[in-house]
Amino acid sequence: MAKTIKFRLDGTAVEALEGETVLEAAERAGLRIPHYCWHKALGNPGNCRMCVVEVEGAPKPQAACRLPAKEGLVVRSASPASRRAQSAALELHLVDHPLDCPVCDQAGECGLQDYYMDIGRYPSAMREDKAHAAKRVPVGPHIMLDQERCILCTRCARFVSQVSKSHELGIFGRGHNEAVALVPGRVLDNPYSGCLADVCPVGALTDRDFRFQVRVWYLDGADSVCPGCSRGCGIRVHTSTRRPWHNKGRRLARLKPRFTEVNGHWICDEGRYGYADFDTDRLGKVMRLKDPSAELGWDVVCDEVAVAIRQGMLKDPAGLAVVASGGLSNEDWRAFRSLFVDALKLERFLFAPEPDQVGEQDELLRRRDKVPNLEGGKAAGFGTQIKSLDWDGLAGEIESGKVWGLYVVDRDPVKVWGERGRALAEGLSLLVCQGPRKGLTGGLAHYRLPATDWLEEAGSFTNFQGQVQTYLPALKPLGAARPDWDIFSALEKAVNG
């Protein structure tokens, strides 16, 4: 138990841990002191001077981010003197700021706007021309740099040196000419470059993917978990549904990191930009291959699928294989096991990742398995008691006639099998495709059962460390789509008659 230090901030008693600064202790206690350059994960260079506070006994205002908490300290961050000092610092930041908020994507979540409205509100005393610098420079595949808007807090330079350790950005020049720029010959293309748009407190580094799509005040948000790999980073999902003409008609606007113990403040670019096609190729209607235009209800189709499964199993009870996905939530896995293992007593399962679902891994966040919840499957017995077939093995069993039916959950085996996939699928006497997207398999399946994707349902993932994290729905399901577990239980009811 570390020793605690008690001090007072704006009349409130605050407890600091030994070695903490006043600003850190205040943030932890939920008290806000203005700041730009300080970031919990990136240190405190103390160059923005926004956190200057009045300290009793000190002749001059002190920077709270550099001020170690001391017993009995009396700090006033909102006193007139503090506000005057903070306001002066803000005015200095804005001296060369182009004030192009109307075209700036940061507008609405910009530190300059927020603090100007909170503590600024001064009439501008600047009579000189503003210094101009490079605007809209695409410094990397995901990030756009605007040197004019920069306040030189150095967060970005610290990020590339401390977190991504890729060192693409630096602060160059002096005085009016001081600016953030790429190190000559480099491109900002590290796998975490999207985080620079998050750490930048102003509009100097913005997200190219999100550029000009939606103004941030039209966004709705929900807390979720990234399904991009088995890390399970906490994310905040921003959706744009109130004005469908924005964001090119897509509902999902952007993903932002959400601080959790698992991922800290960051997420990787793969996860951040991996869901641009979230709304493409979606299933929204329960369909039967024979008469695709028929309006079917869930009850009818569940009964038909149950009858088909039962009839096939009368002849060959082991000939039905199930292809599942590591993208199922823990709840889905339970219902999955209940239906296919406990009720139908099937033996052939394939839940190993698809070949392209295995990718790069690094020490920071990214994991090799690009599916979120293989651990949840293990907890339900898949991978421990029940072994997974491999893709070629399953293809061989279909060719040899050992497998007559295939139940596919959120997978696209026809695509995995490539050229022979189509023939394999057409050789089956029952092919059911359940999932949010159609894919190649959906086009050949005898029954298509639309399921919600992870953003449209609540659930939980277990990451590779065994950490269970819940995610909340950010969007409404499309059409008749239902969560996977719901479909499994409906089907189980139908199978049990």
- Based on the shown chain and the rule CB under 8 A, indicate whether residue 136 belongs to the binding site for another protein: yes
- In the complex with another protein, which residue's Cβ is closer, 132 or 167? 132
Q: Which of 167, 176, 243, 387 binds another protein (CB under 8 A)?
A: 243
The distance of Cα 118 from the centroid of its chain, to the nearest Å, equals 30
Q: How far apart are CA 143 and CA 145, in angstroms?
A: 7
Beta bridge partner(s), residue 433 = 408, 448
- Based on the shown chain and the rule CB under 8 A, indicate whether residue 107 belongs to the binding site for another protein: yes
Q: Which of 74, 81, 103, 126 binds another protein (CB under 8 A)?
A: 103
Tokens of 352: 């190993």
Q: Which of 217, 290, 293, 295 binds another protein (CB under 8 A)?
A: 217
Cβ at position 195, least distance to another protein in Å: 23
Q: How far apart are CA 151 and CA 36, in angstroms?
A: 9
- In the complex with another protein, which residue's Cβ is closer, 136 or 165? 136
- In the complex with another protein, which residue's Cβ is closer, 107 or 468? 107
- Based on the shown chain and the rule CB under 8 A, indicate whether residue 102 belongs to the binding site for another protein: yes
Of 102-110, 113-121, 192-200, 449-457, which segment contacts another protein by CB under 8 A?
A: 102-110
- Based on the shown chain and the rule CB under 8 A, indicate whether residue 245 belongs to the binding site for another protein: yes
Which residues are within 8 A (CB) of 22 and not within 5 positions of it... i.e. 6 or more apart? 7, 9, 16, 33, 53, 64, 65, 67, 68, 69, 73, 75
- Based on the shown chain and the rule CB under 8 A, indicate whether residue 288 belongs to the binding site for another protein: no
Cβ at position 34, least distance to another protein in Å: 25
Cβ at position 212, least distance to another protein in Å: 4
Of 99-107, 319-327, 362-370, 452-460, which segment contacts another protein by CB under 8 A?
A: 99-107
Enter the DSSP assignment of 64.
G
Of 190-198, 205-213, 460-468, 469-477, which segment contacts another protein by CB under 8 A?
A: 205-213
DSSP string, 74-105: EEESSSHHHHHHHHHHHHHHTSS----GGG-T
Q: Which of 31, 101, 343, 472 binds another protein (CB under 8 A)?
A: 101
- Based on the shown chain and the rule CB under 8 A, indicate whether residue 137 belongs to the binding site for another protein: no
Q: How far apart are CA 9 and CA 22, in angstroms?
A: 9
- In the complex with another protein, which residue's Cβ is closer, 135 or 186? 135
DSSP string, 440-492: HHHHH-SEEEEB--GGGS-EEEE-TTS-EEEE---SPPPTT-B-HHHHHHHHH
* Residue 7 Cα distances to 21, 26, 265, angstroms: 11, 10, 28
- In the complex with another protein, which residue's Cβ is closer, 102 or 175? 102
Q: How far apart are CA 203 and CA 448, in angstroms?
A: 45
Cβ at position 136, least distance to another protein in Å: 6
Using DSSP's 3-state secondary structure scheme, residue 224 falls into: strand
- b/e 183-205 (16+ beta carbons within 10 angstroms → b): eeebebebbbbbbbbbbbbbbbb
Residues from 382 through 421 that contact another protein (CB under 8 A): none
Choose among 7, 131, 156: nearest CA to 69. Answer: 7
Residues that bind another protein (CB under 8 A): 100-103, 107, 135-136, 211-213, 215, 217-218, 243, 245-246
